[in-house]
Amino acid sequence: MKKILLEYANIIGYTITGLIFGLSFFLLFINFYHSQELSYVADVSEYNTINKDTVSQKIATIRANLSVYNQANYSGNLNIYGLNTAQIKLEECLKIIESPEMMAYFEKKEIQLKDSYNFAVDFKNKILNDCLVMQVKSMFNTDTVSKLPNFDIIKPYVELSLNNLLSSSAYVQADLENADHYFFNTNGNRTNFFDLVNDSYSNIMNDYQDSLDLLVEISAWFKSIVIGG
C-alpha cells in the first residue's frame, strides 16, 4: 500500500514538474517574441513625405488667409478687438503646429511602437489641448469674436469637429499602452488586420490632418469676414 502511494506521489511530482516546465518554457519564449514584436520597425519615409507636403500647403493657406487682416491698415466696420483675437489665436496655433517637436515627426524615415505612442501623446497635448482647446475653443467663447459676422454659422461646425477630434485618438493611445501586455500579433494579423505601429501612426496622422483642415476652414471664415467687412 505504501509502495503504491509513493508511486502515485512520484507520478504527481513528475506531472507537476512537467506542467511547470511547460508553463515556464511558454513564458520564456513569449517574452522573447513579445520583445521582438515591440522592437518592430516600420518604414514611413514615403508616407511622411506626402504628409509633409500636405501639411506645408495647409499651413501656407492658413497663413495667407490670416495675412489679409492688418490692424494698422484696416478700414472696415468690424470690431477690431474680435479680429485681433481671432488672428492672434490662430497664429498661436500655427506656432504650435510648426514647432520643431511636431515637425520632427515628418522627418522620420522609420518608426517604432514608441514613436507612434509619442506622436499620439504629442498630438493630444500640443495640437488638441494647446491649439484646438486653448486657442480655438477659447476664441469661440470670447464676447468680441461672437460679435463677428457668420459666427453662429461657423461655431456649431467648429464645436462638432472639435468634439470628434478630442475623442478620436484616445483609443489609439490606449491600444498602444496595452501592447505592454502579452499578445499574439502574427505577421498575417499585421498584414491583414491592424499593424499597431503603422496603423496607429496613420490614425494619428489622419487626425492631425483633420485638425489642420479645421484650422483652414476657420482661417477661410476669418478671411471672408475681413474682406466682406
Tell me if 159 contacts another protein by CB under 8 A.
no
Q: Which is nearer to another protein, 73 or 181 (CB)?
A: 181
When binding is defined by CB under 8 A, the residue of 62, 86, 132, 176 that contacts another protein is 176
Beta bridge partners of 226: none
Is 179 one of the binding residues for another protein (CB under 8 A)?
Answer: yes
Site of grid cell 520583445: 35
Closest alpha carbon to 92 in 57, 124, 128, 130: 130
Task: Confirm or reject binding of residue 60 to another protein (CB under 8 A).
Answer: no
Given 61, 84, 112, 144, the residue binding another protein (CB under 8 A): 112
State the nearest-atom distance from the C-beta of 110 to another protein, in Å: 14
Q: How far is the CB of 128 from another protein (least distance, A)?
A: 18
Q: How many residues bind another protein (CB under 8 A)?
A: 34
CB of 39 or CB of 56, closer to another protein: 39
Q: How many residues does the chain have?
A: 229
Q: Which stretch binds another protein (CB under 8 A): 67-75, 107-115, 133-141, 155-163?
A: 107-115
C-beta of 61 vs 118, nearer to another protein:
118
Cα angle vertex 86, ends 82, 89, to 5°?
135
Q: Could you give the string, one character per residue 9-28, with x where binding to another protein holds by CB under 8 A and - elsewhere?
A: xx-xxx-xx-xxx-xxx-xx
Task: Of 73, 55, 75, give the one whose Cα is nearest residue 63.
Answer: 55
Find all residues with CB under 8 Å of 224, minimum gap 6, and list them: 150
Least spacing, CB of residue 123 vs another protein, in Å: 15
Cα→Cα distances 84→88, 136, 139, 147, Å: 6, 13, 11, 13
> What phi and psi values does residue 43 have, to the nearest 5 degrees?
-90, 120
What are the distances in angstroms from CA 207 to CA 27, 152, 155, 202?
Answer: 37, 25, 20, 9
Q: Which three cell numbers stand for residue 33?
A: 517574441
If one asks whether residue 73 binds another protein (CB under 8 A), the answer comes out as: no
* CA dihedral for 95, 101, 102, 104, sign (positive or negative): positive
- Contact with another protein (CB under 8 A): which of 111, 113, 214, 218? 113
Q: Which of 43, 49, 99, 114 binds another protein (CB under 8 A)?
A: 114
Query: Contact positions toward another protein, by CB under 8 A?
Result: 2-3, 6-7, 9-10, 12-14, 16-17, 19-21, 23-25, 27-28, 31-32, 35, 38-39, 112-114, 117, 176-177, 179-182
